[in-house]
Structure 1
């Protein structure tokens, strides 16, 4: 009987360790993704976070489909961004859409992002407030030169008054077609994996399943 219970006991130990870590962390380090006003008022979300658990928010406000553009509803987010940052929440500019960058345009794109969204001393931001960093969140288009853009943001966007953060949001399949090369540069401060709406490889034979958060 004792021998038969040993595998069960060994299996329970990691679960107890994980449970202990979860309780001790008190859900610190959570973030959320804001894609449009349909997700709610940004300032209200930051103000309503429970026990200060949110530390990050990524706002989808720079679209790389065709000419790089900022959705009109993002240009009035300045006061909301200030409120979130005042609560200690880091705000990331999420780069979305269908990019098709060439190496020749990387430095110009990096300079635009750095000066218009991150640099407090370069004048009013397109958003009405500067953000803490950039987030790579691509699901279509080309993966050309995204690694060069990530490297350029790390190497060239150096501000005296604050650290510039970089994050990436790959899908859970490895490798992520769009972000793998960029992540492999090693320049990202955060990588948050998106498990929703994506087929996942699990178990022997790489069986496919669908993760559904509903």
Structure 2
């Protein structure tokens, strides 16, 4: 009887593991690291609201610069210091099955980054892999982040080469990780990231449907949905396409209330074959407004949403352990 119970529990655990590991499960991604009052990573991941947390930003790199970061005083900023105090928080989030990415780039007004050549792209890719993806000791401690996010807002040169070089690492090493891009919602041409997105190497595309009146909710949802439909056909079919939105009225031009999002936008967006969910800018505003709390169930209506499947998985795991002990 005990052996039959063990076999049943193993079977149930395998089902939940398979269903939760599918890359197309919709969810919410959020940028973290822009305001100290947003709370730490642990509190963000403990909400159960996020599928992906993006650390923003590595904002100095390339063309001979000494790489540096700015996480809004959550840890020591800059090349001379380390952020190793984030190691345990990152690993905690990953244990909760929240993916943690490093976002590179950011607002050019308080950043300094560019690539000068293909060889420069190769050097930056190696720096990113060695320090943030491989598990070797680096600025964040001994971590294996789940991906690199391209949040590029200046120059278009060589970002496609950087994507190819990072893809080379994930193809030739045992370390599988993801690539994401956060382009502005303009489609013709795509600012800064057009060549990179054309490589079709990105697993997630977080389109910024804000701060661009022609394709955001500044005059109504029609412009946003029209742009969304273009993006659906523009990116690779295996990309997960996210609606990037401000998490509060002060987070960016084009704010959409949770009610309007649920009533008018999400029903249309979820018809897309490559719909991936919603990206929020940023955790600080979401912490203030509770935006993700209000939209979570609507982002993915199915039982397979992260918070539900994780809860069931934990329950089955506990039952399995009790059977083993018995």
TM-score (structure 2 length as normaliser): 0.50
Find 1:59's aligned residue among 51, 55, 67.
Answer: 55
Aligned residue for 1:105, secondary structure, equals helix
Does the CA-based 8 Å contact 1:173-1:199 persist in structure 2? no
Does the CA-based 8 Å contact 1:58-1:135 persist in structure 2? yes
Does the CA-based 8 Å contact 2:181-2:204 persist in structure 1? yes
Does the CA-based 8 Å contact 1:59-1:91 persist in structure 2? yes
Aligned residue for 1:54, secondary structure, equals coil
Does the CA-based 8 Å contact 2:170-2:176 persist in structure 1? no
For CA contacts below 8 A with separation 6 or more, give which structure has more relative contact order: 2
Find 1:111's aligned residue among 126, 142, 160.
Answer: 126
Q: 1:138, 1:106 → 2: CA distance?
A: 14
Does the CA-based 8 Å contact 1:168-1:192 persist in structure 2? yes
2:39 equivalent in structure 1: 40
TM alignment of 1:1-214, pairs within 5 A: 28-36=26-34, 37-49=36-48, 53-64=49-60, 67-71=66-70, 72=76, 75=83, 76-97=85-106, 98=108, 99-103=113-117, 104-120=119-135, 123-128=136-141, 129-139=143-153, 141-158=154-171, 160-174=173-187, 175-201=189-215, 202=223, 211-213=254-256
Q: 2:57, 2:90 → 1: CA distance?
A: 12
Does the CA-based 8 Å contact 1:61-1:95 persist in structure 2? yes
Does the CA-based 8 Å contact 2:184-2:190 persist in structure 1? yes
Per-residue deviation, 1:44: 0.4
Q: 2:114, 2:98 → 1: CA distance?
A: 31
Cα pair distance change 1:137/1:38, threshold 3 Å: farther
Per-residue deviation, 1:124: 1.3
Cα pair distance change 1:127/1:159, threshold 3 Å: farther
Gaps of 5+ in 2: 1-24, 71-75, 216-222, 228-252, 258-326
Aligned residue for 2:89, secondary structure, equals helix
Q: 2:178, 2:57 → 1: CA distance?
A: 16
Cα pair distance change 1:150/1:68, threshold 3 Å: same
Gaps of 5+ in 1: 1-26
Aligned residue for 2:51, secondary structure, equals strand
Per-residue deviation, 1:159: 6.4
Per-residue deviation, 1:35: 3.0
TM-score (structure 1 length as normaliser): 0.73
Aligned residue for 1:144, secondary structure, equals coil
Aligned residue pairs: how many? 177
Q: 1:28, 1:177 → 2: CA distance?
A: 26
